[in-house]
Chains A and B, each alone.
Chain A
Amino acid sequence: MSIKVQNISKSYKNLKAVDSVSFEVKKGELFGLIGPDGAGKTTLFRILTTLLIADEGSAAIMGFDVVRDYKSIRSAVGYMPGKFSLYQDLTVEENLTFFATLFGTTIAENYELIKDIYIQIEPFKNRRAGALSGGMKQKLALCCALIHAPKVLFLDEPTTGVDPISRKEFWEMLKRLQQQDITILVSTPYMDEASLCDRIALIQHGVVLKIDSPENIIKNYDKTIYDVATKNTHSLIHDLKNYPSQYSVYAFGEFVHYTDQENNFDRKELEKYLKDKNHTDIKIKQAQIAIEDVFMDL
C-alpha cells in the first residue's frame, strides 16, 4: 500500500473537519478525493503530508507513519497545495532550481520526469511566477512538486478555477505520470473529473460516503434517471418538483435530471402532466448516470 489511512479525525474548535476517515491507495494508483469546498479534503492532505497532526487515527505513506517518520515522508512525497504557493518574485527557472536544491537534487538529474510538462513553460522560464497565467502556474507548481522524483504525489485541487482546456491537459499529464509508477492522490470539486481516476472516495462534511471505481459506483446506482427537457427550463424545474411522485429534480446541463419514487414510472403520464402545464417541445428519455447524480443522492 502506498497510502494507508485509518480512522483519521481532526477538529477545529467545534467543527469536525475530518470524521473517522479510512481508505487505502495502491502503488501506482490514481485515487481521487471528490467533494465540495469544506468537505475536509485539504485537512486530510495536510495530515498525510505531515504538516498537521490528526486528533485520532493513524496514517502511513509507503509504510512510514505520518507522525513518527515524518522526515522520511517529506523527502519521498511531492505536494502541490491548493493555493498557489511558489515564489511569485522568482522566475519560473529560479523556482524550479530552488525546489531541486531544497531536496538535494538538480533540474538536470530528474529532467526526464518533468520534461513533458516543463517544455510547455520553458519558453517563459525567465518570467516571474507571479506573471504567469493560471494554466502555466499550475504546470510550474506540478514541476516543482515532481523535481525530486517523489514516489507519491499529493495534488490538492490542482484544477480548481482552471478552464476546461487546461483541466483536460492537466489530467492527461497525470495519466502519463501514473505510467511512471507514481502513486497519485488528487482532490477535486469537479465531479466530471471523477471518471478519470482509477478509484475515488466521495467525501462531504468530513465523512467518506463511498469508495469504489467510478464505473462501479455508477453501475451500482439503483435508480433510473430521466433526461427531461422542454422549451422553458425554469418552469420545467418548478413543475417537475410539484409532480406527485417525484423523488428528485436537478438541472443537469441541457436537461433536467428527473427521478421518480415509483418503479413502474410511466413517462407518458409525465408527458401528459407537462402538456397540461403548457410545456412544449417535451423530451423525456433515460439518462446516462453521472458521478454527480450519485453524489447528490448520498
Chain B
Amino acid sequence: MEKEKIITVKNLTKKFGDFTAVEAISFDVYKGEIFGFLGANGAGKTTAMKMLIGISNPTSGEANVAGFDVQSNSEMVKKNIGYMSQKFSMYDDLTVKENIVFFGGIYGLSRAEIKIKTAALVAELQIEDIINSLVGSLPLGWKQKLSFSVALLHEPKIVFLDEPTGGVDPITRRQFWEMIYTQAYKGTTIFVTTHYMDEAEYCDRVSIMVAGKIEALDTPKKLKEQFKVDSMNDVFLKLARNIE
C-alpha cells in the first residue's frame, strides 16, 4: 500500500479525575481521506479532537498529526492544521476581508500572500459583493463556507471540522460537502464530526465512538454490511443504543 498516514493515534487516553473521557483509542488517517469521527453526545469526541489539535495533553498514549507529536510538538501541529467549528468560525463584527487578513496573519502569512489568497478566495466563492460586509450580517451557510476557506488559507495538510453544517439549510449543506470533496481531491485530509447521518455516508471511512472507545471503524459500506442494516443511521443506533 502506498497510502501515506497523516494521523496516527495509539492508545490515546484522557482522564478527568476518576472519569475516563477517552479510553485508549487507536486509529490511522490517510492523506487525502475524508474521515468521519462520529459518536453520541458525551462519547468523548470533543476531548479526543482537542488532543489531536494540540490544545489538550493526553493522560497517556500518543498521537502524531501531520508529522508532529501532539504533546511534545503541539505548536508545529497547530501550524500544520486548519480548524473550524459551528461554535467558532469568524468574528461577526469584522468584515469578510478583515477576517481573512486577521486569520492569514495568525497563520503567519505575509501581506503579499494574504493579498493573493484573498483575490483567489473572492474569485472562487464569487463574493465580490460581500467582501466588505460584516460577517455577522451573513446567512449561516455563507459564514460556514467562508470559514472553511479561511481554515484553509495557510494550506494545512489536515483540516478539522467540528459539526460544520449544524442548522445549515439543505442546499448549502450539500454545497459545503462539495467544497470538502474538492479539497480532499486536492490532497487535503478532512477530519469531520457531524450529527447528520447522511453526511456520514459521504466519508471515505467512519469511526464511531461509544463511551470513550472507538467501537467501529470502516467504510460506510462495510459498516452497513457488518451490522446488516441499510443506513448509517441504523449502524449508529445499533452501536450506541442504551448508552448514557
A residues whose Cβ falls under 8 Å from a Cβ of B: 35-39, 133-136, 157, 160-168, 189-192, 204, 233-234, 237, 250-254, 292, 295-296
A residues in contact with B232, CB < 8 Å: 253
18 contacts between A and B (CB under 8 A): A35-B169, A36-B140, A36-B141, A36-B168, A37-B168, A38-B140, A134-B42, A136-B244, A160-B167, A165-B244, A189-B169, A204-B169, A233-B181, A250-B171, A251-B202, A253-B197, A253-B201, A296-B170
User: Is B139 interfacial (CB 8 A cutoff)?
Assistant: yes
Please determine whether B170 and A168 come into contact, CB atoms closer than 8 angstroms. no
B243 within 8 A of A: yes
Q: A168 to chain B: which residues have CB within 8 Å?
A: 237
Contact partner of A296 among B171, B177, B231, CB < 8 A?
A: B171
Interface residues of B in 155-175 (CB under 8 A from A): 163, 166-172, 174
Contacts of B163 in A (CB 8 A): 161
A36 to B196, CA, bound (A): 13
Contact between chains at B195 and A161 (CB < 8 Å)? yes
Residue of B nearest to A248 (CB): B171
Could you tell me the distance in whole angstroms from the C-beta of A234 to the nearest C-beta in chain B?
Answer: 4
- What are the 8 tightest A-B residue pairs by CB atom distance, in nearest-first order? A36-B169, A134-B41, A133-B42, A37-B167, A253-B198, A234-B181, A163-B40, A253-B201
Known: A38-B139, A254-B201. A164 touches B233 (CB 8 A): yes
B-side residues, CB < 8 A to A, are: 39-43, 139-141, 163, 166-172, 174, 177-178, 181-182, 184-185, 195-198, 201-202, 220, 231-233, 236-237, 240-241, 243-244
Is the Cβ of B178 less than 8 Å from the Cβ of A237?
yes
B141 proximity list for chain A (CB < 8 A): 36
Identity of the chain B residue whose Cβ is nearest the Cβ of A249 in the assembled complex: B174
Cβ–Cβ < 8 Å partners of A161 in chain B: 41, 163, 166, 195
Most A C-beta atoms less than 10 A away, residue of B139, B174, B185, B240: B174
> What is the CA–CA distance of A187 and B195 in the complex, to the nearest angstrom?
17
Chain B neighbourhood of A157, CB < 8 A: 167
Q: How far is the CA of A39 from the CA of B166 in the complex (A)?
A: 14
The SS class assigned to the A binding surface is: mixed
In chain B, what residue has the closest Cβ to A160? B167
- Asked whether B40 lies within 8 Å of A165 as measured between CB atoms, the reply is yes
- CB within 8 Å for A133 and B41 given contacts A160-B166, A164-B237: yes
B167 touches A163 (CB 8 A): no
What are the residues of chain A within 8 A of B42 when measuring CB–CB? 133-135
The answer for the CA separation of A233 and B203 in the assembled complex, in Å, is: 10
Contact A163-B240, Cβ < 8 Å, known A36-B168, A237-B181, A253-B198 = yes
Q: Which residue of A lies closest to B163 (CB)?
A: A161
Bound Cα distance from A168 to B197, whole angstroms: 13
Query: Once the chains bind, are A251 and B174 in contact (CB under 8 Å)?
Result: yes
A166 touches B41 (CB 8 A): yes
Q: Which residue of A lies closest to B87 (CB)?
A: A161
17 more A-B contacts (CB under 8 A) besides A135-B244, A251-B174, A296-B171?
A: A37-B139, A135-B41, A157-B167, A161-B166, A161-B195, A162-B195, A163-B236, A165-B244, A166-B244, A189-B167, A189-B169, A233-B181, A251-B177, A251-B178, A251-B202, A295-B170, A296-B170
Minimum CB–CB distance for B57 against chain A, Å = 22
Which residues from chain A contact B140 at a C-beta distance below 8 Å? 36-38
List of A residues within 8 angstroms of B167 by Cβ: 36-37, 157, 160, 189
Of the listed residues B167, B174, B196, the one surrounded by the most CB atoms of chain A closer than 10 A to its CB is B167
Chain A residues, CB < 8 A from B231: 253-254
The minimal Cβ–Cβ distance linking B25 to chain A, given in whole angstroms, is: 18
Nearest Cβ on chain A to B97's Cβ, whole angstroms: 22
Q: How far is the CA of A265 from the CA of B240 in the complex (A)?
A: 42
Select one of A38, A165, A233 contacting B240, CB under 8 A.
A165
In the bound complex, CA of A85 to CA of B196 (Å): 25
Nearest-CB distance from A247 to chain B (Å)?
Answer: 14
Contact of B241 among A35, A165, A191 (CB under 8 A): A165
Report the minimum CB–CB distance from B108 to chain A (whole Å).
31
